[in-house]
């Protein structure tokens, strides 16, 4: 792929051209020239877009595509298309398919389906056999096939000894263990945050205590084992505090937060809109403030869309019976930009790569072109016309967002809207 990108403002603190508006020449997928003006002597395709900005390619540490087994929700191919149009050049795929991704063959299958695409797919293998939380899956075999981490998506590991053994075993090959932060015997049948709103709405509550107890347990186990732990999608201020203290102890722990948990409070459930039924549940303003502070001070290592397509038959039902989850790739950039500067937003969207073994390249001459293309200034109301996913369960539908994405250049390919 040969292309000349014109008049692009580079947002990349690792590049010598950071904050400069330049032309970028890409030949056979490699950046060969960056200058104020690059002449198109070889008549390559030119890209010239309104208020064009480019950054290192973005990474999402938690996406679900459904395939195999739930193709009506999302196929891998359409999921990767959605990611590309949303500015992501790499995604970590959860194992919550049917069957779950829990073997060497399963990892090989999903990797094969994503071959030769602009977006790189990094599979997460199930932590336990069939995702049942009882016996440890074939972690080493999956790592040999290309699994970057191990996680039973949104399923807490109830047995602490199983988590201890997993952390110890995976440390033999530098494996990353993910543990969903929820003590299920506390959360029980809660479908929203346990607070004033849950009482008023007559819905069973899921308290922050359930999250915090599980995190505290896992941090004690981590301190004992010396393993490598990632805690996905935390949602409470106390959780931030616990992880902050663990990092002061030099424990090898990272964490993420879902973008929607930075925006919406439990009061949004007044209309019983099942798009707001997510796990962990959306909490309170106080939690949001603490989560944002955790991002700013580095306690929270990455932000994820936690993209989870759910078909209409399982979402447009009575709130108690609706499945948890929202799509989020398409709205991720515009949502983050309503909270942070463009520089901070890009920093957030490019963090987490090293933790998940994703290659990171700066926008520099001689480097592979791995770029996200966007306009940070355009504002709009997010609606169904902005949705590329097969499923339409978007928590951000109707929200005012800032910043649009043009597409990506990566893996010697270009995908633009």
Residues assigned a catalytic role: 306
Q: What single-letter DSSP state applies at residue 128?
A: B
Spatial separation of the C-alpha atoms in residues 380 and 401, rounded to whole Å = 6
401 three-state secondary structure: strand
3-state SS record for 41-95: CCCCEEECCCCCEEEECEEEEEECCCCCCCCCCCCHHHHHHHHHHCCEEEEEECC
Phi/psi at 60 (nearest 5 deg)? Answer: -115, 125
Among candidates 252, 170, 265, 266, which has minimal Cα distance to 218? 252
**Residues, the chain, total?**
417
| Burial call 343-364: b when 16+ CB within 10 Å, e when fewer | eebbbbbbbbbebbebeebbbe
373 three-state secondary structure: strand
Spatial separation of the C-alpha atoms in residues 333 and 326, rounded to whole Å = 15
Spatial separation of the C-alpha atoms in residues 56 and 330, rounded to whole Å = 18
Among candidates 241, 185, 187, which has minimal Cα distance to 216? 241
User: In terms of DSSP H, where are the helices of 97-202?
Assistant: 104-113, 139-145, 160-170, 184-187, 196-201
Cβ distance 29 to 54 under 8 Å?
A: no
Q: What is the pairing mode between strands 2-11 and 21-27?
A: antiparallel
């Amino acid at each position: 792929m040969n292309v000349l990108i014109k008049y692009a403002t580079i947002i990349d603190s690792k590049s010598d051209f950071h904050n400069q508006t330049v032309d970028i020449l890409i030949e056979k997928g490699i950046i060969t020239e960056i200058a104020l003006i690059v002449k198109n002597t070889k008549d390559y395709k030119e890209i010239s877009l309104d208020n064009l900005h480019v950054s290192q390619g973005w990474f999402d540490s938690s996406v679900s595509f459904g395939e195999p087994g739930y193709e009506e929700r999302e196929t891998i191919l359409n999921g990767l298309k959605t990611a590309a149009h949303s500015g992501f050049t790499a995604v970590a795929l959860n194992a919550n398919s049917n069957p779950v991704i829990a073997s060497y063959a399963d990892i090989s299958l999903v990797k094969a389906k994503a071959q030769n695409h602009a977006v790189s797919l990094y599979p997460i293998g199930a932590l336990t056999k069939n995702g049942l939380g009882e016996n440890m899956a074939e972690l080493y075999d999956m790592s040999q096939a290309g699994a970057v981490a191990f996680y039973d998506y949104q399923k807490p590991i109830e047995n602490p000894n199983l988590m201890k053994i997993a952390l110890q075993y995976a440390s033999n090959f530098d494996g990353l263990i993910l543990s969903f932060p929820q003590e299920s015997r506390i959360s029980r049948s809660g479908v929203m945050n346990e607070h004033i709103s849950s009482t008023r709405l007559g819905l069973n509550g899921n308290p922050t205590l359930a999250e915090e107890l599980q995190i505290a347990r896992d941090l004690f186990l981590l301190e004992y084992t010396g393993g490598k732990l990632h805690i996905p999608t935390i949602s409470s201020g106390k959780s931030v505090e616990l992880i902050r203290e663990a990092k002061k102890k030099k424990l090898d722990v990272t964490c993420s937060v879902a973008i929607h948990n930075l925006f919406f409070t439990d009061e949004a459930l007044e209309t019983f809109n099942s798009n707001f039924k997510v796990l962990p549940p959306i909490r309170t303003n106080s939690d949001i403030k603490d989560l944002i502070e955790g991002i700013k001070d580095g306690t929270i290592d990455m932000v994820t869309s936690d993209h989870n397509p759910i078909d209409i038959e399982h979402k447009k039902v009575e709130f108690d019976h609706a499945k948890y989850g929202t799509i989020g790739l398409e709205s991720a950039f515009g949502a983050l930009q309503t909270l942070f500067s463009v520089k901070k937003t890009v920093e957030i969207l490019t963090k987490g790569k090293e933790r998940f073994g994703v290659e990171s390249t700066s926008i520099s001459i001689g480097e592979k072109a791995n770029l996200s293309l966007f306009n940070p200034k355009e504002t709009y109301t997010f609606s169904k016309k902005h949705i590329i996913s097969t499923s339409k369960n978007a928590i951000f539908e109707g929200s005012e967002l800032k910043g649009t994405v043009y597409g990506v250049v990566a893996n010697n390919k270009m995908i633009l809207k």
